[in-house]
Amino acid sequence: MVGIRKARLASFVLLLTCFASLLVLFVLIEDRERLYIAAAVVIAVHVACWWFVYRRILLSEAAFFEAVEEDMYAVHFRFRTFETAVRHIKDGVVIVSEEDDLVLVNETVKGLFAAYKLDGELDASRYDEFAAGFSEKLERKNILESANKNLPPETINVDGQYFKIGYVALVPEKGKWRGAVAVISDVTESTKADRMQSDFIANVSHELRTPLTNVKSHAETLMTGSVEDEGMVLDFLEIIVSEADRMNGLIRELMDLASMDYTGLVLNTSESDLPSLARMSTRKVGGVAQKKAITVNCWIDDSMSLSVEMDRGRIEQVLDNVLNNAIKYTEEGGRIDVDIISGQNCVQIVITDNGTGISEEDLARVFERFYRGDKALTGGIGGTGLGLAISKQIVEAHGGTISLESKDRRGTKVTVSLPVSKVRGIPGIL
Interaction site with ligand ADP (CB under 6 A): 321, 325-326, 329, 353, 355-358, 362, 366, 371-373, 375-376, 383-389, 412
Secondary structure of residue 333 in the 3-state scheme = coil
Q: Which is nearer to ligand ADP, 325 or 417 (CB)?
A: 325
Judge contact between 134 and 113, C-beta under 8 A. yes
Q: Is 160 left (phi over 0), alpha (psi -120 to 50) or beta?
A: left
Q: How far is the CB of 244 from ligand ADP (least distance, A)?
A: 17
Q: Which is nearer to ligand ADP, 203 or 412 (CB)?
A: 412
Q: Which residue type, as a one-letter code, is found at position 367?
A: F
Q: Which residue of this chain has its Cβ atom nearest to ligand ADP in the complex? A: 373
Q: How far is the CB of 205 from ligand ADP (least distance, A)?
A: 17
Q: Which is nearer to ligand ADP, 18 or 351 (CB)?
A: 351
Q: How far is the CB of 317 from ligand ADP (least distance, A)?
A: 12
Contacts of 348 (CB under 8 A, 6+ apart): 340, 341, 342, 415, 416, 417, 418
Q: How far is the CB of 257 from ligand ADP (least distance, A)?
A: 11
Cα torsion 51, 54, 56, 57 to 10°: value is: 180
Dist CA 350 CA 412 (whole Å): 10
Q: Which is nearer to ligand ADP, 146 or 321 (CB)?
A: 321
Q: Which residue type, as a one-letter code, is found at position 129?
A: E
Q: Which residue type, as a one-letter code, is found at position 156?
A: I
Q: Which is nearer to ligand ADP, 91 or 408 (CB)?
A: 408
Q: How far is the CB of 288 from ligand ADP (least distance, A)?
A: 14
DSSP result, 95-123: EEETTS-EEEE-HHHHHHHGGG---S---
DSSP letter at 240? H
Secondary structure of residue 348 in the 3-state scheme = strand
Q: How far is the CB of 333 from ligand ADP (least distance, A)?
A: 16
Q: How far is the CB of 362 from ligand ADP (least distance, A)?
A: 6
Q: How far is the CB of 390 from ligand ADP (least distance, A)?
A: 8
Q: Which is nearer to ligand ADP, 7 or 358 (CB)?
A: 358
DSSP result, 6-19: HHHHHHHHHHHHHH
Q: Which is nearer to ligand ADP, 282 or 321 (CB)?
A: 321
DSSP letter at 368? S
Q: How far is the CB of 402 from ligand ADP (least distance, A)?
A: 11
Q: Which is nearer to ligand ADP, 281 or 356 (CB)?
A: 356
Q: Which is nearer to ligand ADP, 99 or 374 (CB)?
A: 374
Dist CA 33 CA 40 (whole Å): 11
Cα torsion 338, 343, 346, 347 to 10°: value is: 20
Output the CA–CA distances (angstroms, integers) from residue 266 to 103, 259, 310, in the order listed: 51, 9, 12
Judge contact between 109 and 92, C-beta under 8 A. yes
